[in-house]
């Protein structure tokens, strides 16, 4: 006999992070985790290093300076910003606070993997609504709402599909939800997108009583190692997060580096220019090889492979790894015929396309 966790926990298929290593390859190109192609801002690295002199001190528990910087940058109320140890922690905290046994947590079929994991960890039931053409389907999501639904997670744009919903579609989704359902709009890739048919969810997070927007420093800011994310929503949600989070949930180095990263607008702009240049390049190259490059609004592309023997995503992955190119397998997302490739730095992109050319010709 031994203690057993509560129902749901052992149903969790643990999150499988992107690989960062390929045995035997001379040079390794990591394109598996959507990490910022240009790395962290030198200002952020300096701020991180400066914290080394004060490691015996607890962090400032309220992340007050960082929240103030975020609020200034985006024109928000600092009291409604809550920082987390990555947006992953905020997904966990929201799920734990708003859903439990007997409740349902809703998301779209190929949505971000942390949503079902968090639901099960909280004892709630994960519910996946079907997508249309690898895109969240507003009607299917609304059809899946029951009186047990407590949270609807929408990644916009979505990882791994790269698809996004327009502000009008998000507004229609929100309008169709009961006021008691919390709509969490996860905009991890928002900084990469500048187009008239996209808005990260700030408008609703500012005005609605049941909408929270999540953001992260892990992607365009290149601070994935430090784990910093933030939430913006109504006062009552910020209050709840303030009660359930750990008192020092964002460490001191992370707070300092994130504030410095936010202030380095040049670095962010360079990262955006890099993505604007290489995302379409990668899509074109993949298409020219006969592969399906699904349209993406992020810093990654979901790539469909043929079902033909020897040309499958699984075979491509093995071939790429042998060439030191590490991408992400998608079987865990219900997309076994696909790989997800990050728009990484130029040498990685060139190595990936060259290897895929060899693979498809072979």
Ligand X SMILES: *Cc1c(COP(=O)(O)O)cnc(C)c1O
Q: HSE-up of 330 (CA within 13 Å, CB side)? A: 25
Cα separation of 292 and 178, whole Å? 38
Cα separation of 90 and 185, whole Å? 12
Cα separation of 162 and 281, whole Å? 16
Q: Are 210 and 183 in contact (CB under 8 A)?
A: yes
94 in contact with ligand X (CB under 6 A): no
Selected from 48, 98, 107, 112, the binder of ligand X by CB under 6 A is: 112
155 in contact with ligand X (CB under 6 A): yes
159 in contact with ligand X (CB under 6 A): yes
115 in contact with ligand X (CB under 6 A): no
The encoded tokens of residue 273 equal: 């220019």
Interacting residues with ligand X between 186 and 225 (CB under 6 A): 186, 188, 216, 218, 224
Selected from 41, 87, 255, 296, the binder of ligand X by CB under 6 A is: 87
Q: Judged by CB, which is closer to ligand X: 122, or 158?
A: 158
In terms of Cα–Cα distance, which of 189, 264, 230 is closest to 66?
230
* Residue sitting closest to ligand X (CB): 86
Q: Least Å distance between CB 256 and ligand X?
A: 17
86 in contact with ligand X (CB under 6 A): yes
Q: Least Å distance between CB 157 and ligand X?
A: 8
Q: Least Å distance between CB 310 and ligand X?
A: 31
Residues forming beta bridges with residue 186, ordered by sequence position: 155, 214
Q: Judged by CB, which is closer to ligand X: 87, or 324?
A: 87
Q: Are 316 and 359 in contact (CB under 8 A)?
A: yes
Neighbours of 287 (CB within 10 A): 12
Q: Judged by CB, which is closer to ligand X: 118, or 216?
A: 216
Q: Least Å distance between CB 136 and ligand X?
A: 12
In terms of Cα–Cα distance, which of 114, 71, 65 is closest to 254?
65
Interacting residues toward ligand X by CB under 6 A: 34, 86-88, 112, 155, 159, 186, 188, 216, 218, 224, 229
């Amino acid at each position: 006999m031994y203690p057993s966790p509560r129902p749901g926990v052992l149903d969790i298929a643990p999150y499988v992070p992107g690989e960062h290593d390929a045995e035997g390859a001379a040079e390794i190109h990591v394109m598996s985790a959507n990490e910022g192609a240009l790395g962290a801002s030198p200002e952020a690295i300096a701020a991180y290093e400066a914290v080394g002199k004060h490691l015996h001190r607890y962090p400032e528990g309220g992340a007050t300076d960082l929240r103030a910087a975020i609020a200034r940058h985006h024109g928000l109320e600092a009291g409604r910003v809550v920082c987390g140890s990555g947006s992953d922690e905020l997904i966990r905290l929201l799920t734990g606070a708003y859903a439990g046994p007997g409740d349902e947590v809703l998301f779209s079929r190929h949505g971000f993997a942390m949503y079902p994991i968090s639901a099960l960890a909280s004892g709630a039931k994960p519910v996946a609504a079907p997508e249309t053409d690898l895109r969240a389907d507003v009607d299917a999501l609304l059809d899946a709402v029951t009186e047990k639904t407590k949270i609807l997670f929408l990644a916009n744009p979505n990882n791994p599909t790269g698809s996004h919903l327009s502000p009008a579609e998000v507004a229609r989704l929100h309008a169709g939800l009961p006021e008691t359902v919390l709509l969490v709009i996860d905009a991890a890739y928002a900084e990469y997108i500048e187009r008239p048919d996209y808005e990260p969810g700030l408008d609703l997070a500012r005005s609605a009583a049941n909408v929270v927007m999540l953001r992260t420093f892990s992607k365009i800011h290149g601070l994935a190692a430090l784990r910093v994310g933030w939430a913006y929503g109504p006062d009552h949600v910020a209050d709840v997060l303030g009660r359930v989070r750990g008192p020092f949930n964002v460490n001191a180095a992370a707070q300092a580096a994130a504030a410095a990263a936010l202030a380095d607008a040049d670095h962010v702009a360079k990262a955006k220019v890099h993505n604007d240049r290489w995302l379409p390049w990668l899509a074109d190259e993949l298409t020219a090889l006969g592969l399906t490059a699904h349209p993406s609004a992020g810093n990654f592309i979901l790539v469909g492979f043929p079902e033909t023997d020897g040309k499958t995503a699984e075979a491509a992955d093995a071939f790429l790894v042998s060439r030191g190119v590490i991408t992400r397998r998608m079987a865990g997302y219900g997309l076994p015929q696909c790989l997800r490739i990050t728009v990484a730095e130029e040498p990685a992109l060139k190595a990936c396309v060259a290897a895929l050319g060899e693979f498809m010709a072979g």
